[in-house]
Amino acid sequence: MSNEIINKIGEALYHFYLEADKDTIKNSLKDDIQDTVEYEKKKKRIIFLANAAAKKKHNEYLLQLADKFEQALLSNIEKPIAILKQIIHGNASLALHRNLDKLSKEEIIEIIKDKNLVELLEQLDNNEKKH
Amino acid sequence: MNLAEAIQSENMDEIIDSMNAYAISILKSVGVKDFNGKHPVDFVGDLLLKVMEGTRDWDKAECSFKEFLFGCLKSDIYSFLKTIKRHSSDELPEIPVNDDPINFEEKKNQIVELLKQEGANDDELIVFEYWMDGIFKPAIIAAELGVPVKDIYVIIKRLERKRKKIEQQAINMI
């Protein structure tokens, strides 16, 4: 069969499943899933595992970043310290942490936990590469 | 938005249902019964773990989390189908070369005829024409036709039911 036609049908069905509302999807699944109890069990397991993996990855990033900031404070490296100061200044609830010299790792985690960790990590890595 | 935030901000229950319905649709269309013991939902589970472990990099994506997951799922399933095609080349449709414009029009008209023989009504043929013109999003088709998008969903499901038969006949015909 025509490759272009197959591709176009495939593309259209991709957008259909991406866009279709909850009821349409439920109706579609009703025709195709024989054991709904088993399916719901699998789905719960997938969501649980995905949440656990996402949290684990988030915590790994947090610890990795906190280590980098801690090292930067000890070694008095300009750029990471500037980043920390910027975060603290941008958030009134972090005003208690103005004395950067005395920050513990837990306090660093408290400061950075709500930020885009991947972006922060990239900023620090780029800074390390430059030096 | 980081991964943990993305997964918590979305209704993952609904997204998994949509992804599973999409996986079922692709896998059903190739006519192979056994996917190395995997069910369509297993492809969804495997993909989500890859995303969570960072094998699929959400941080660099520039679309919604749902679009990102759908794109990855599509790519994973097609890669999987290519590997099983190597083992059972008779069971899957061959991957043909691109058509020239005249050939495409001719083949499209033949498919339209097949759709009619399969009982497709005017609504289905109109939506099929939109697809062939490269307009795929149901919301856009609905807006163009001035009908509720739900009506388009119903038409698409009817077209999808004819898909396997049409593709099979078309392979024999062309």
Q: Please state, in angstroms and rounded to a whole number, the distance separating the CA atoms of residues A97 and A85.
A: 9
- pLDDT of residue B53 exceeding 90, the answer is no
Q: Residue B119 corresponds to which tokens in the numbers above?
A: 């009982």
pLDDT in tens, B70-82: 999 999 999 998 8
Number of neighbouring beta carbons within 10 Å of residue B79: 9
pLDDT exceeds 60 at position B174: no
When pLDDT is cut at 50, 70 and 90, the band that residue B16 belongs to is: very high
C-beta of residue B18 within 8 angstroms of C-beta of residue B69: no
Interface of A with B in 35-54 (CB under 8 A): 39, 42-43, 45-47, 49-51, 53-54
Cβ–Cβ below 8 Å for B45 and A49: yes
Residues B58-69, buried b or exposed e (16+ Cβ, 10 A)? beebeeebbebb
Rounded Cα distance, B89 and B36, in Å = 15
Q: Hunting for tokens 């992804």 — which residue is that?
A: B19
pLDDT in tens, B147-158: 999 999 999 999
Residue B161 makes CB contacts below 8 A (sequence gap 6+) with none
ipTM of the complex: 0.89
Q: What's the CA dihedral at A72, A74, A78, A81 to 10 degrees?
A: 70
Q: Which one has a higher pLDDT value, A124 or B40?
A: B40
- What pLDDT is attached to residue B150? 97
Residue B65 tokens read as 């989390």
Is the pLDDT score of B14 beyond 80?
yes
Judge whether B73 and B136 are in contact, CB under 8 Å.
no
- For A54, name the nearest residue in chain B, comparing CA atoms only: B4
Task: Give the containing element (helix H, strand E) for B13.
Answer: helix B12-29
Q: Tell me the whole-structure pTM to 2 decimals.
A: 0.79
* pLDDT greater than 80 at residue B26: yes
What confidence tens digit (pLDDT) does each residue in B161-171 have? 998 777 776 66
Residues 6+ apart with CB under 8 A from B9: B1, B65
Q: Are B76 and B43 in contact (CB under 8 A)?
A: yes
Task: Please identify among residues 77-96 of chain A the ones whose CB lies closer than 8 Å to any CB of chain B.
Answer: none
Min Cα separation A110/chain B (Å):
17
pLDDT exceeds 70 at position B98: no
Do residue A3 and residue B97 have CB atoms under 8 angstroms apart?
yes
Q: Please give the C-alpha separations between residue A84 and each of A1, A57, A69, A98, B108, in angstroms, as whole numbers.
A: 60, 22, 8, 10, 61
**B77, B52 in Cβ contact below 8 A?**
no
Q: Which residue has the higher pLDDT, B29 or B91?
A: B29
Residues B114-140: pLDDT tens digits?
A: 999 999 999 999 999 999 999 999 999
**Which among A3, A9, A25 has the least Cβ separation from residue B21?**
A25
Q: What local confidence, expressed as pLDDT, does residue B75 receive?
A: 95
* Residue B167 confidence (pLDDT): 72
Determine whether the interchain pair A20/B167 forms a contact, defined as Cβ–Cβ distance below 8 Å.
Answer: no
What integer pLDDT is reported at residue B169 of this predicted model?
A: 63
B24: pLDDT strictly greater than 90 = yes
- CA A10 to CA A29: how far, in whole Å? 18
Mean pLDDT per 10-residue section of chain A, whose length is 131 residues: 80 97 95 91 93 86 89 84 84 70 83 81 77 62
